[in-house]
Chains A and B, each alone.
Chain A
Amino acid sequence: MKLETLKSIISKKKNKTEFAIITNLSTGESEIFEKEKPLSKELEKYSNQINEFFKSKKNGVIDGTEIFIETYIKPIKVIIVGAVHIAQYLVEFAKSLNFEISIIDPRGYFASEQRFPEMKIINKWPDEAFKQIETNENTALIALTHDPKIDDPALQHALNKKFYYVGALGSKKTHANRCERLKEAGFSSNKINSIHGPIGIKLGGRSAPEIALSIIAQLVAETYKK
C-alpha cells in the first residue's frame, strides 16, 4: 500500500465518511472507493460487484478475481445526557470502540472541560442541544441524570427520531415513574418498552466503572442486532 493511500484512508476515517478500500491483490495497488467517485478504468468492470459489497457493508474478495474490498461505515453516534461520574468511565470505554460521543448537560459544573477533556460537550438543555446534533436511526441515547427535567425531553426526542438504542439510568421504581410520564405524554407502550431501563446488562456491580461497563456491553450487543 502506498503511504499516500494510507494517509488518505486515515483522514477519511477521521472525517467519518463512508468509503471502501479496494486492493488488486496481484498488483498490490489500492484505491479508495466512494459512492459518488468514479472507479478507475481497471476496476470499472467490477463496478456491480463493488457496489454490492459496499451496499451490504461486507469485506472480501470478489469471486473469481484478485480484487479485495474492505468497507468502512460511519461510526455510531452516541449521545450521553448527564455529564456524571458514570459518563466519565463510559467515555473511556467508548474511545476504544470508535463511537462518536456527544455529552449534553445544562449544568455547567458537571459539563466542564476539566471533567471531560477533548470531548464534545453541549452545555444546554436537551431541546436546545439537539438542534446542534444531526441524529437518525444510527444514533444511541444514554440518559444518566435520572432527573426528569433533563432526561425526559431527551428520551422523547430519541423515541421520536427512532434511535436504535435508548437507555435510561434509574431504579425499577424510577423507571416505572418515567414510563408513566411518557405514557401521559402520548407515547405508545411499544415505544416505551423499547427503552432499556434500568439501563445495562446484569453484571452485579454497582460502582461507576462497573455500571459504565454494563451499559457499554448492552450498547455493543444492540449495535450488532441492528
Chain B
Amino acid sequence: MKNSFDEKILEEAHDWVKVNQKVVLATVIQTWGSSPRPTGSRMIVNEKGDFSGSVSGGCVESAVVRESMGLLKDNKPHKKIEFKVSNESAWEVGLACGGEITVYLEQIN
C-alpha cells in the first residue's frame, strides 16, 4: 500500500504558486539500500530558499535547496541529482545511512 498517508506537498506547492512564488518540485524517483524516505517523497523550494516537505531524513535537503535555487536562477526546466555516500561532498550532504537516492527537480510553470 502506497500513498495512503499523503503529505499534501502538492497542495502546498499550488498555494505557493498562487502567491506568485517560483516553485521547484523535488521528488525521490529512485532509492538503493537503506534510504530514509521512500520513492515518491517530495519537497518544494522557492526562489528565496524556503522549503517544505522532505526527500531524506534531513541529510541532503540543504543541497536540494541549493540546486533548486540554481535551477530557478538559470531558468532550467528540470534536473536529476544523485546522492551517494561516495559523493565528494559526502562530508557535507551525503547519506549517513549508506543508501543512495536520485532526486528529480522540476519547475512548476
A interface residues, Cβ below 8 angstroms from B: 1-3, 6-7, 9-10, 13, 23, 25, 28, 57-61, 68, 70-73, 75-76, 97-98, 220, 223-224, 226
**What are 13 A-B pairs at a CB distance below 8 A?**
A1-B25, A1-B106, A1-B107, A7-B14, A10-B10, A28-B106, A59-B38, A59-B39, A61-B30, A70-B3, A71-B3, A73-B3, A224-B1
Total B residues in contact with A, Cβ cutoff 8 Å:
27
A contact residues around B5 at 8 Å (CB) = 97-98, 220
Contacts A1-B108, A7-B14 given; indicate if A223 touches B4 (C-beta within 8 A): yes
A97 to B4, CA, bound (A): 8
A contact residues around B85 at 8 Å (CB) = none
Is the CB–CB distance between B109 and A73 below 8 Å?
Answer: no
B63–chain A nearest beta-carbon distance, Å: 19
B contact residues around A72 at 8 Å (CB) = 3, 6
Q: Which of B1, B2, B10 lies in contact with A9, CB distance below 8 A? A: B10
A7 to B11, CA, bound (A): 9
Is the CB–CB distance between A60 and B109 below 8 Å?
Answer: no
A contact residues around B4 at 8 Å (CB) = 73, 75-76, 98, 223
Q: CB of B90 within 8 A of chain A?
A: no
Is the CB–CB distance between B17 and A3 below 8 Å?
Answer: yes
A180–chain B nearest beta-carbon distance, Å: 34
Contacts A1-B25, A10-B10 given; indicate if A68 touches B1 (C-beta within 8 A): no
